[in-house]
Structure 1
Amino acid sequence: MTYELGTGAQPAQNQAVGKPVELGVLSNLVTTYLHLVLTAAETTLDRRMRDHVLGPGKGKLSSLSVIANNPGISQVELARLFGRNRSTQFRIIRDLEKRGVVRSEVDPTERRRHNIHLTPLGEQLSSELDVIIGLLDEQVFSVLSESEYKSFLESLKKLCSFNVDGFDQLWTTSNRYSPHTA
C-alpha cells in the first residue's frame, strides 16, 4: 500500500501513469512509516499552532518540554538530544526568546555554553503545551489499542537507547550493510 505524505494516509497517485505510487523497498521498512506518521503529526501540529503565541514550526514544543524539565540545559545538549545541528537548535531557541518564553544565559564557568531557562510566560505555557502534545499523540495513535500503544512505545524507547553511534558502528562493521563492500 502507498501513502501520500502529510495527508493522513491518503493513497498517493502517480499522475503521469494514473497508478498508485510504488515505494519499492521503502514499503517494507519501518522507518518509512515512522517518517510518514511523524510528518503527518508535525503537519497537524503546525496547523493547530498557527494562532498560538508560539506559532508553527518544528522543534519548539519538544524543546520547551525538555527545558521545563531540565532548567539550565544547554543549547548543545538540546541539539544532541534531538539529533539537530547546533545552528538549527540555535534558531529554535532564538525564536522562543523573541516570543518571550525562554531566556538564554551565558554559563558563568564556561562562556561558550548557553544555559536555557523558561521565563514566567514559558512556565505558564508549559502545562498547556503538555496537554496539546498529549492530545496530538492520542489522536495520532488512536488506531492502536492501549496494549499496542504501550508495546510500540517500549519498542521505540529501546531503539532510541541504541543511539546513532550504535547504528553507525553497525553500518561500518556489518558485511551486509557496509558501504565498503561491493
Structure 2
Amino acid sequence: MARKTSSVRRARPNAAPDLGALNDRLGYFVRRLQVWIFQDFIRRLARLDLSPAQFSVIVVIGANPGLSQAELAETLGIERARLVRLLHRLERRGLTQRRASRSDGRRHALELTREGRTVLAAAERLAGQHEDVLREKLGARRYRTLLNVLRAV
C-alpha cells in the first residue's frame, strides 16, 4: 500500500516549507544574513589568507597605532587569550609587531608592519567589494538603515 503524503505539500511540490513562527523572529533572519555575510567575506579574504577576526585586528591596529592589547581586546570584544593567539599568527606572518610602550613599560604598543599595511590595503579593497555586494543585495536604503540600527545596539 502506498504511503499518503500531505495534500498541502503535493499541491505545492516546489514551494519552500513554511517557516512558521520563524517568520516573526528577528534573530532568525539576522542569523541567516550573518551566515551569508561571513561566507562571502571569508571567501574574499581567503585570497590573502586572512580570517575575518584577523582582518578586524589589523583594521583597528591600523587605525590606532600604539593601541595596547587590552584596549584592542575590549574594542573588539575578543577575550584576551584568543587575541594573543591572533596576534601571534599575525606577528609570525610579519603583519604586526608589539613594542614596549613609551608611557608604560608593562604594556605593549601594537603596530602594523610595512607588510601589514600592504595586506590591510588589499583586504580593505576586498571588504569594500563585499560591502558593495551586500548593499546591492539589501538595497542602499535598507543597508544604511540596518547599519545605523546595529551601530546603536
TM range (shorter): 0.7 to 0.9
Q: 2:111 aligns with which of 114, 117, 137?
A: 117
Runs of 4+ in 1 over 6 A off after TM superposition: none
How much does 1:27 deviate?
5.3
Deviation at 1:56, TM superposition (A): 4.1
1:57-96 counterparts in 2 under 5 A? 57-96=51-90
Deviation at 1:108, TM superposition (A): 4.0
Tell me, in whole angstroms, the C-alpha distance in 2 between the residues paired with 1:145 and 1:51: 27
**1:37 and 2:33 aligned:** yes
- Please state which structure has a larger fraction of its residues in helix: 2
Worse overlay, 104-113 or 114-123: 104-113
TM-score, normalised to structure 1, is 0.65
Compare CA radii of gyration and give the structure with the larger one: 2
Q: Percent identity?
A: 24
2 CA distance for matches of 1:32 and 1:114? 40
In the other structure, the counterpart of 1:47 is 43
RMSD over aligned Cα, in angstroms?
Answer: 2.4
The answer to whether structure 1 residue 102 and structure 2 residue 96 are counterparts is yes
Residue 143 of structure 1 pairs with residue 137 of structure 2 = yes
Task: Sort the Cα spacing of 1:145 and 1:41 in 2 relative to 1 into closer, same or farther, 3 A.
Answer: closer
Aligned partners of 2:47, 2:125: CA distance in 1, in Å? 16
| TM-score using structure 2 length | 0.76
**1:115–1:147 distance in 2 versus 1, CA, 3 Å:** same
- Output the CA distance in 1 between the equivalents of 2:91 and 2:81: 15
Q: How many equivalent residue pairs?
A: 138
Superposition deviation, residue 79 in structure 1: 1.4
Q: Corresponding residue for 1:133?
A: 127
Contact 1:45 1:56 in 2 (8 A): no
Structure 1 alignment gaps of length 5 or more = 1-18, 160-182
